[in-house]
Every structure is written in C-alpha cells, then in structure tokens.
Amino acid sequence: MSQSPSLAYTTLVQKCNELTFIHSANSALHWDQETYMPPKALDYRSRQLAFLSGWAHKEFTSVTTGNLISECEQAGFSPDSVEGVNTRQLRHSYNKQTKIPSSLVEEMSQASTLARSAWVDARAKRDFALFLPHLGKLITLSQKMADYLGTGSCRYDTLMDEYEEGESAARLRSVFAEFRKEVSAFLPEAFELSKSIPGNLLEGYYPIEAQQKFNRDVAAAIGFDFEAGRIDTTAHPFCTELGPRDCRLTTRYDERNFLSSLYGVLHEAGHGLYNLGLPEEQYGLPAGTYSSLGIHESQSRLWENHIGRTREFWSLWHEKAVHYFPELKRHSPDQIARFVNRSEPSFIRVEADELTYDLHIILRFEIEYRLIEGDLKAQDLPAFWNNEFEKSFGLKVPDDSQGCLQDIHWSMGGFGYFPTYTLGNMNAAQLMRKAHLDHPHLNEELARGRYTPLLDWLRTHIHSKGKRFSPQELMKSATGEATNPHYHITRLKKKLDLLK
C-alpha cells in the first residue's frame, strides 16, 4: 500500500538522513587516516571503510528506497520546489547506483584506502614500483565501474560524469587546445618579465607554529568559521565535511616557504566556505549538496588566486605577515605580490603559478584518459609522464615524487577529477567578473579586508542553490551565460601588468 505524498517524502528524507550518518562516519575515518591514524591500523581501517561503503550502497539501492522515490515522483511536486529537486536528483542517483554491485563498491573502497597509504610511502621514497600494483588495480576497478554505469560515450566520460555532470572528454579536449594556444602566446613574455624577480626572494626560516597562526588569521578573515572547522596537517592538502557544521581543512608545511601552506589553506578554505554555506536544513539531500566539482573548485581557486595573489591582499596583510615572519620586513607588499605572480615552468602542480597551472591539469587529463581507455598501461606511466612533461614544460623530471607520484587523486580512484580544476579556474574568473559588475565598489571593499560582500554574493548565487541546477545551469543563473573560458584567459593576460 502506497503512503500519502507527504508521508512518502518524509520517510525518504529520514532514509537519506540515516545514510548520511554512515557517509559522515566514513568521512571521519578517511580524515583520520590522512591525519592521525597510526600506520598499523591501515588493514582494519580499510575493512571498516569497505563495510560502511557497501552498507550505505545496499541501503540506498534497496527496493524500499526505489519505491519511496517512485511515490514521491507521483506526488506532483513542483520541479523547482525543494521536494521536487530532491526527488529528481535522488532518482538520478538511484538509477546510476543500482547498476553497480555493492561488492564492487566495497572492493573499490578497500583498494583505494590501501592505495593511499602506498602512495604516501612511494612518494616519500620516490619509488613508483611501490605504488604500481595499487594503481593497476584501481584502474581495473574504475574501468569496471564505468562499464556497469555505461552513461557516457566512453569509459572516461562515464567516470568524469561523477564529478562534472554532462561533461565530455571530446569537448574538453577542444576547449583545452584553444586555451593552450591562447596562453602559450603570452607565456614567453611572462617568463621573461619574471626573470627580474629572484626565485629565492622569499626563502628564509618560517616556523610552522607562526605559519599556523597566520593561516588561521587569514582563513578567519575571509569568513571560515573555526567554531565549525579546523586545520590539520597532511601529505596532500584537502577539505572534507563530517557534518553540516563540521568542516576539516588540511595543509602541509615547508619551513623555508610559508606560501605553500598559506595558499593551501586559502584554497581549502574556499572549499570549506562552500560546504558551510550550503543549506544546513537540507544536509545530506541534493538540495544541500554542491553542484559539481567544477563549481567547488571555482570557490577554492577564487579565494586562493583572485583574492590571495593581488596587490591589495599583500598591502592589507603585509603588517600581519611581518609580525609572524619578521624577515619579511625587508620586502614591500608590492615585491611580495610580484613574487607570488611570477611565472616559470615548475614540477609541482599545487605550487605552480597561475599562468602555467592549467598546463599541469591538461597533462593529467590526457594521461588519465589514456589510462582509463586502455591506451596507456600503468607500468608505462612514469616514462610517458616524463616525456610529455618535458614537451610541455621543457624540464626533465628528476624523480617520480616530482612527477607522476605528486598527486593523491589516482590513489583515491579519482579518475576524471583533474579537469574540474581548470573548469574551476574558468568559472572563478566568470563569477568574479559578475560579482564586480553587481558590486562596483567591490575592489575597495576587498582592499579594506571587507570580504563579506563577496562571500554574501557567492552564498546567494552559488552556495544556497545546492544541487538545484546542473553546473552549466548554475553558471547561467549566476552570471547569465554558461562557462566561458574567455574571462579566465583575459585575466591571465592581465597578470603580465603585475610583473612589470
């Protein structure tokens, strides 16, 4: 016997809330693994995570859940209502997830947990062989996942759809080719201008404790709520949410370079602001979930680059930076701003300058496409990476830790994730342009350290929308047009003025 529409919806929401408890517990265990877990706990942790992942999958894909969604579909909720949005998106997820065996979900969870630990060890020892068997298994499991889902024109499109709904490798390859052509036209000038800025200008001793205090001050100033979050240390910076008011940021530290942790925190705080800005009453439901990773990355790249790399930022924060790092007193705000915008080929993606950053992403996109489509074998990855990297950057990769082992994503089975960084850059430039149009005095506000107007604009046009829209629909809603690479390219070209 079917329930009344309101009762069916209430029961469905209750079901999703219970599943969210499982997902939150899973996230807490993942966070602990990356921060404080003792090494010998790995085997048991991998089985814990596999069990919870499989359990949540079985519960969500049950006949009971499917029947509840069907009853809600028959209720006639308005498509634009919260009930309509949640029902529609839950149906979309249900139809996809029911194609995947729970056993595969468990196997993928356990394999990625073990792989992340192996990646950390391999990276530290600069030995790809330690990671190779794990990578090979994750590629095979990801291919199986894509075959079960079968939603794209190729396996890679299917996997990428999990991160960026509706995107395709064919379209991205065209967009990226044009982007590379445009940026390559002014990169030589940027490199030449950057030669006048010493690469070791800011080298010194920056105690970790001082970095932690400075980073916290900056994150709090842009709006991150430390009553609902914290910053910890890890091998690769990330942000995760353990609940509607529990957001965990991580970064890594280099005592010779305070900028690495600072920009890591600004990036992850951008993710955190998005997570904490989603509708809390809809937490665990589509209306309280982020739109896509291309949108999520737009938030992190916006705060990291459009705010953190400006002259205005360093004019404002110079005094506080000198307080924590006295040796910075010998450098003016303008000198620091020029330094953080200098451009040169480099090995590490997360420390790359803005002008070359997307070239790192395009490289990874092409490589992971080949891995998933079977055109590149896991054992051939280092040689292929090194060859392609030298073609793009003119540098010989000295070891795998500065090459194919530098990113955590493939150890998580995150094939299809990398393109969302460049999509995020494009979205960020477009969103900032519209925010400035809507607030003509925004630059003056930001120069005074008044970040609330920008955050409020993002809350209104992005965060509060949850998953009501597809990524491109959300960009149209916020800016009047779908993602347009032009604004990102124009902004990058203007950065040459900062180097003069």
- The per-residue pLDDT for range 21-49, each reduced to its tens digit, is 999 999 999 999 999 999 999 999 999 99
* Cβ proximity of 267 and 303 under 8 Å: yes
Q: Give the whole-angstrom CA distance, residue 121 versus residue 44.
A: 18
Q: What is the 3-state secondary structure (H, E, C) of 340-386?
A: HCCCCCCCCHHHCCHHHHHHHHHHHHHHHHHHHHCCCCHHHHHHHHH
Nearest to 248 by CA among 226, 223, 277: 226
Q: Give the whole-angstrom CA distance, residue 373 versus residue 160.
A: 13
Strand order across the 229-233 sheet: 229-233, 246-251, 239-243
Nearest to 245 by CA among 266, 218, 220, 225: 225
Nearest to 340 by CA among 305, 377, 380: 305
| Distinct helix (H) and strand (E) counts, the chain | 21, 3
Q: Give the whole-angstrom CA distance, residue 313 versus residue 447.
A: 7
Classify domain 169-499 by CATH number: 1.10.1370.30
Tokens of 39: 């090494």
* Bridge partner residues of 229 (DSSP): 247
Q: What is the pLDDT of residue 3?
A: 65
Buried b (16+ CB within 10 A) or exposed e, 173-196: eebbeebeebbeebbeebbebbee
Nearest to 379 by CA among 130, 136, 119: 136
Q: What residue spans of 126-257 are helical by DSSP H?
A: 132-149, 155-160, 169-194, 208-222
Q: Give the whole-angstrom CA distance, residue 258 versus residue 240.
A: 23
8-state DSSP, 306 = I
pLDDT per position as a tens digit, 182-200 = 999 999 999 999 999 999 9
Q: Give the whole-angstrom CA distance, residue 123 versus residue 120.
A: 5
What pTM, to 2 d.p., does this model score?
Answer: 0.96
Q: Between vectors from CA 369 to CA 408 and to CA 493, what angle results, nearest 5°?
A: 80
Tokens of 145: 């996942």
Q: What is the pLDDT of residue 500?
A: 86
In 10 A of CB 245, how many CB atoms?
A: 14
Q: Between vectors from CA 222 to CA 219 and to CA 228, what angle results, nearest 5°?
A: 60
How far out from the chain centre does Cα 289 lie? Answer: 15
Q: What is the pLDDT of residue 217?
A: 98
Q: What is the pLDDT of residue 2?
A: 60
3-state class (DSSP) for residue 243: strand
Residue at token pair 């994503």: 409
By the 10 Å C-beta count (0-12 exposed, 13-18 middle, 19+ buried), 313 is classed as buried
3-state class (DSSP) for residue 231: strand
* Cβ proximity of 479 and 433 under 8 Å: yes
Could you tell me which residues come within 8 angstroms of residue 77 by beta carbon, excluding any fewer than 6 positions away? 5, 9, 83, 84, 87
- pLDDT, block means (10 residues), the chain with 500 residues: 78 97 97 96 97 97 98 94 97 97 98 97 97 98 97 93 95 97 96 96 96 98 98 94 97 96 97 98 97 98 98 98 97 97 96 96 98 98 98 97 97 97 98 98 97 98 97 98 97 92
Domain edges within the chain: 5-113, 169-499
Please, what is the end-to-end C-alpha distance for the chain in angstroms? 73
Question: What is the torsion angle, in degrees rounded to the nearest 10, for the CA atoms of residue 338, residue 341, residue 344 and residue 346?
Answer: 130
Query: Of how many residues is the chain composed?
Result: 500
3-state class (DSSP) for residue 239: strand
Q: What is the pLDDT of residue 152?
A: 78
Query: What radius of gyration do the chain's Cα atoms show?
Result: 23
Q: Give the whole-angstrom CA distance, residue 244 versus residue 201.
A: 42
In 10 A of CB 127, how many CB atoms?
A: 15
* Cβ proximity of 238 and 256 under 8 Å: no
Q: What is the pLDDT of residue 334?
A: 96
Residue at token pair 């604009």: 457
Q: Give the whole-angstrom CA distance, residue 88 versus residue 76.
A: 11
* Bridge partner residues of 233 (DSSP): 251
Q: Give the whole-angstrom CA distance, residue 313 versus residue 33.
A: 34
CA distances from 187 to 184, 353, 496 (A): 5, 11, 9
Which residues are catalytically annotated? 268
